[in-house]
Amino acid sequence: MRILPLAALGLACVLAFVGAYETEVGDDVERNTALSANMNNYIDVVMIQVGPWMNTHLVPMALPDVVEGFEHRPILITYHGELALTNGVFHTIHSVGRNGNAMMHYDRQLLRVSVGGNIRQLGFTYDYSAHIMDLGPSGFVDVDVATMTFTSEFIIDMTDFYIWMQDFRLTNMG
C-alpha cells in the first residue's frame, strides 16, 4: 500500500527533472535592473484616510511666528521697517488627494517614491504688524487657499531604513 504513493512520487520527480533538463530557461529579466511600479491605486486609498486624520489630529495647529525686517541708509537717513506675523493658527483643511502619477523605483537598495498631492480648502489666520519708520497698520489676516498642489520625492535606504526628502515643490497655490 505504501509502495504505490512512493512510486507515483518518484515518477513525478523524474518527469519534472526530465522536463527541466530539456527546457532552456531564457533570461527574460536581468537581476540587476531597476524595478518601477505605478502606485496610483495605493496612494488613492491612503489619501482618502489622510484628510480625516489631519482634521482630527492637526486642526487647529499653531503656526510659527515670522518676523522680517529691513534697514537701508541711502544718504543720511536710515529707513527701517518690519513685518511681523504672530499667533498663527492653521484652522481648515477640506480634503487631500493625489495629483499626477505616484511612482516607485527600486534600484541598488534605494527606494525612490515620487508623489504629487492636492490639498483643497486650506485656511489659516495670523495677527500682523507692518511698520515702516515705526508707522503702519496692525490687525489680523484670514487666509483661505482654494487649492494647493505640490510634488514630493522621497528616498528610502532599504539597508538601514533612513528616509530622505529629496524634493518638495509647491506647483500651484490658489
pLDDT of residue 93: 87
The 10s digit of each residue's pLDDT in 30-54 is 556 788 999 999 899 888 888 888 8
Q: What is the mean pLDDT of each run of 10 residues along the chain (174 residues)?
A: 52 48 50 81 88 84 94 91 95 89 92 92 93 93 92 94 93 86
pLDDT of residue 10: 54
Q: What is the CATH topology of the domain spanning 33-173?
A: Bactericidal permeability-increasing protein; domain 1 (3.15.10)
Residues 6+ apart with CB under 8 A from 171: 116, 149, 150, 151
Q: Where are the domains of the chain?
A: 33-173
pLDDT of residue 32: 60
pLDDT of residue 29: 52
pLDDT of residue 7: 52
Written as nine digits, the cell of 96 is 487631500
| Among candidate residues 98, 105, 114, the one with its CA nearest the CA of residue 37 | 105
Report the mean per-residue pLDDT for the chain. Answer: 84
